[in-house]
Amino acid sequence: MQISHLREEYRRASLDVTDVAADPLAQFRDWFQQAQQAEVIEPNAMALATSDGEGHPNCRMVLLKEADARGFVFFTDYRSMKGQEIDATAHAALCFWWAPLERQVRLQGPVERIDPAESAAYYKQRPRGSQLGAWASAQSSVLPDRETLEARHAELDAKYPGDTVPLPEHWGGFRVIPSTYEFWQGRPSRLHDRIRYRRSGGAGTHWVIERLSP
């Protein structure tokens, strides 16, 4: 079958402004819990969109590790392409896609580095191999071959025995602080439901809820 012939008709649910919570974080948590109950594979996987100082875009998948009133947190090598682009523009967008529920959530806003103590607390929870990987890989840099990476990992494994792998200065968390959320529910005939939350009054806590055209 040709790619242009691939299509799905979404009929699972509907969404209206009367259905959603007044607080977008509460709405996200409700949908996230439903994604977990539906056994979506890695429901915390999200597309992270950034751009460089000249406006050239990039997008990749990362994992959400925290979502609270302060924002949405993920972790990375600060020297990576996404780290450099976030440092240059201080803005990003996120997108979750939960296919079994025919749902998508998008959000965008400014980004900040989290407190190093918070990064250290999460780093201690990571498997030892992942901790060593944060040291072994200079993320997004050119690598001559796989063997070089594995040799570096082995060297670090010997250098830091037991549970003594320290937090690298170049590794930690970013927090996306949403200025807008959009909750998307697939509907028949591509007449999808889209409900947007946007902040009213700049950094205020009041959210305006409105329906968008599909």
Res. 203 pLDDT band, cuts 50 70 90: low
Average pLDDT over residues 14-24: 97
DSSP class of residue 115 equals: P
204 pLDDT above the threshold of 60: no
- Catalytic, out of 11, 60, 128, 190: 190
Give the pLDDT confidence score for residue 205 in this predicted structure: 72
190 counts as catalytic: yes
Give the CATH H-level superfamily of domain 7-212.
Answer: Electron Transport, Fmn-binding Protein; Chain A (2.30.110.10)
Round the average pLDDT of the chain to a whole number and report it. Answer: 96
Q: Which two tokens stand for residue 166?
A: 């320290």
Q: Which helix (H) or strand (E) holds 194?
A: strand 193-199
Give the whole-angstrom CA distance, residue 118 versus residue 71.
14
Give the pLDDT confidence score for residue 200 in this predicted structure: 87
In this prediction the pTM is: 0.94
Res. 163 pLDDT band, cuts 50 70 90: confident
Give the whole-angstrom CA distance, residue 20 versus residue 10.
20
% of the chain surpassing 90 pLDDT: 93
Closest CA to 164 of 187, 209, 131: 131
Q: Is 167 within 8 Å of 148 (Cβ atoms)?
A: no
Res. 1 pLDDT band, cuts 50 70 90: confident
Give the whole-angstrom CA distance, residue 5 versus residue 208.
38
